[in-house]
């Protein structure tokens, strides 16, 4: 029986209105747990930013209540924030995950010099207690092995968090979604279902992962030279299919790209990736093998500038150079925002003479997320009282809520939340109450969360409109300018047009004459006048507002 004054609080801190940085707080009284702790990769709107984390200050301020962190699977949008979070809440905070998930996490934490984390292995079908909560773990299919859904037993009622899932009937590893446990949970009563919404707009069912293998084998069999395959390094099922296709076609597999090397090594050691030692060779030994006997497995499916495939496309990879007649397979779908980067890499590979196969031209990728019919089936199996769509942009969450209504969940029992929204539940009610601190924290070099929106806006302004610097010397007594002002513009079109440049400097001279006539000797007054005058001039002439930095010196 729930204590009278305690309510169950469910607070997503990330993963809503976006694909990435998944993190959900479940809190009751003096006990709190987290499900997932992910990151998101920046796009062109985040110049200089390395990674984007959820703002987990709500957790750090209450870290004495945190009983543990449950990770549903090993993708970075569910694990990547862990090193940064553990530094704030304590490196001995228990982290629960399946065998492969913990193997990938351990490697990531070692990179961040977190040597002895408290990793606790869980198993599908197992049960764990932490604080007032109990947890049951159910096997689900996804694009990485060992994913689980989590049933959270609370004093108020049970929650089912699906993690990322698809209902693949022929999974590569033979590990089916545990329908029996899901049905059992539904019959016993699930108060709240939180379910993956990524493909809610996609009709029907997601095609099985195994179907991609046939295409990969066909392409490799017909290729006369090397085949290079770019994929997510954590997509172990896809990596397995690439290896199987390569071996079947008599090709040796060459692995390159730091994360691909690390993840394949971990997956092989833990028994999740099966390929004989004789079929994998070092990149430096590749030159001794005929090109028709080589398959290069690499990172770079998202067009990342420093990835192995991008370096190959640019001709500056240390061991692999694209040759005319090579076949390149990009076995992934661009994450929203990465389309231009992927297209750029494809164009460069094509210019180098490669035959490029991608999702738009060949059946070389399927999603790891369930489509509409699978999402409806999950809803029908669970039969929740309340429903919160998660893991998706707003349009995905909305589409998923509409699917829920079609299968009978009342509209008043469906909550489309924002990050930071607090859903409070009792045994007989659910309502959105306060909005806790939320948002993002930027990782910029060695700093985490120190770069605010002002710095980001400045970088965006510099990238879009450029910068103009004016150095001015004035008489400290009269305010009259001494000598000519020095104007330097970078990234401003006017800086390359001599007439416009001269006109801009003339405008500054006129402004200085005006401030001197008015007797202005305060450097701030002169600085503001020059900034406003030059800004207006550039807007009138080139329709740009660069960052303008006047430097006024008193002499």
Among the options 55, 136, 158, 196, which is catalytic?
A: 196
Cα–Cα distance for residue pair 441/439, rounded to 1 Å: 7
| Cβ-based burial of 156 (10 A; exposed 0-12, middle 13-18, buried ≥19) | buried
Residues forming beta bridges with residue 166, ordered by sequence position: 141
Judge whether 196 counts as a catalytic residue.
yes
Active-site option among 78, 142, 237, 369: 369
Q: Please check whether residue 222 is in contact with residue 187, taking contact to mean a CB–CB distance below 8 angstroms.
A: no
* CB burial string 47-65: b at 16+ within 10 A, e below: eebebbbbbbbbbeeeeeb
Residues 6+ apart with CB under 8 A from 360: none
- Residue 358 annotated in active site: no
Orientation of helix 372-382 relative to helix 179-188, angle to 10°: 50
- Return the number of other C-beta atoms located less than 10 Å from residue 224's C-beta: 11
Q: Is 360 left (phi over 0), alpha (psi -120 to 50) or beta?
A: alpha
- Are the C-beta atoms of 58 and 65 separated by less than 8 Å? no
Q: How many CB atoms lie within 10 A of CB 358?
A: 21
Closest CA to 241 of 264, 218, 213: 213
Would you say 249 and 289 are in contact if contact means Cβ atoms under 8 Å apart?
Answer: no
Active site residue ranges:
196, 369
């Amino acid at each position: 029986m729930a204590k009278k004054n305690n309510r169950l609080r469910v607070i997503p801190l990330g993963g809503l209105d976006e694909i990435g940085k998944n993190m959900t707080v479940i809190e009751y009284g003096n006990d709190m747990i987290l499900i997932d702790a992910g990151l998101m990769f920046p796009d062109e709107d985040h110049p200089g930013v390395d990674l984007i984390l959820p703002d987990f200050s709500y957790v750090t301020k209450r870290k004495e209540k945190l009983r543990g962190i449950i990770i549903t699977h090993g993708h970075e949008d569910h694990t990547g924030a862990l090193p940064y979070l553990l530094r704030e809440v304590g490196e001995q905070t228990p982290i629960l995950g399946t065998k492969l998930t913990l193997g990938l996490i351990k490697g990531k934490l070692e990179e961040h010099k977190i040597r002895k984390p408290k990793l606790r292995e869980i198993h599908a079908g197992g049960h764990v207690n932490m604080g007032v909560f109990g947890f049951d773990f159910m096997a689900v299919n996804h694009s990485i092995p060992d994913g689980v859904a989590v049933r959270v037993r609370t004093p108020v009622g049970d929650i089912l968090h699906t993690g990322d899932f698809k209902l693949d009937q022929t999974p590569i590893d033979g590990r089916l979604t545990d329908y029996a446990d899901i049905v059992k949970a539904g019959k016993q009563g699930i108060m709240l279902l939180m379910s993956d919404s990524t493909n809610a707009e996609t009709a029907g069912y997601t095609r099985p992962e195994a179907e991609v293998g046939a295409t990969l084998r066909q392409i490799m069999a017909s290729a006369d030279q090397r085949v290079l395959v770019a994929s997510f390094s954590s997509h172990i099922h896809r990596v397995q299919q690439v290896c199987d296709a390569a071996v079947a076609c008599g090709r040796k597999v060459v692995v390159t790209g730091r994360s691909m090397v690390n993840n394949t090594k971990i997956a092989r050691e833990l028994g999740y990736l099966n390929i004989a030692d004789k079929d994998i060779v070092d990149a430096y030994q590749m030159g001794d093998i005929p090109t028709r006997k080589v398959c290069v497995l690499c990172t770079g499916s998202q067009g990342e500038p420093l990835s192995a495939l991008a370096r190959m496309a640019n001709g500056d990879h240390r061991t692999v150079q694209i040759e005319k007649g090579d076949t390149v397979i990009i076995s992934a779908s661009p994450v929203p925002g990465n389309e231009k980067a992927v297209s750029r890499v494809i164009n460069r590979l094509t210019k180098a003479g490669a035959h490029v196969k991608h999702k738009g031209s060949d059946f070389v990728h399927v999603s790891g997320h369930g489509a509409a019919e699978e999402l409806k089936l999950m809803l029908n199996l669970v039969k929740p009282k309340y429903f919160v769509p998660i893991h998706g942009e707003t349009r995905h969450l909305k589409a998923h809520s509409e699917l829920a209504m079609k299968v009978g969940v009342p509209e008043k029992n469906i909550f489309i939340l924002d990050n930071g929204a607090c859903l409070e539940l009792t045994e007989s009610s659910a309502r959105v109450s306060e909005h806790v601190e939320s948002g993002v924290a930027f990782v910029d070099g060695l700093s985490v969360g120190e770069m605010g929106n002002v710095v980001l806006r400045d970088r965006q302004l510099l990238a879009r409109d450029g910068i103009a610097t004016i150095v001015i010397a004035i008489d400290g007594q009269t305010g009259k300018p001494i000598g000519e002002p020095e104007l330097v513009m970078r990234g401003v079109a006017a800086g390359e047009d001599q007439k416009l440049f001269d006109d801009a400097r003339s405008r500054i001279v006129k402004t200085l004459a005006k401030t001197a006539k008015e007797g202005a000797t305060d450097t701030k007054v002169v600085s503001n006048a020059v900034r406003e005058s030059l800004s207006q001039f550039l807007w009138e002439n080139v329709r740009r507002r660069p960052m303008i930095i006047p430097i006024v010196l008193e002499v």
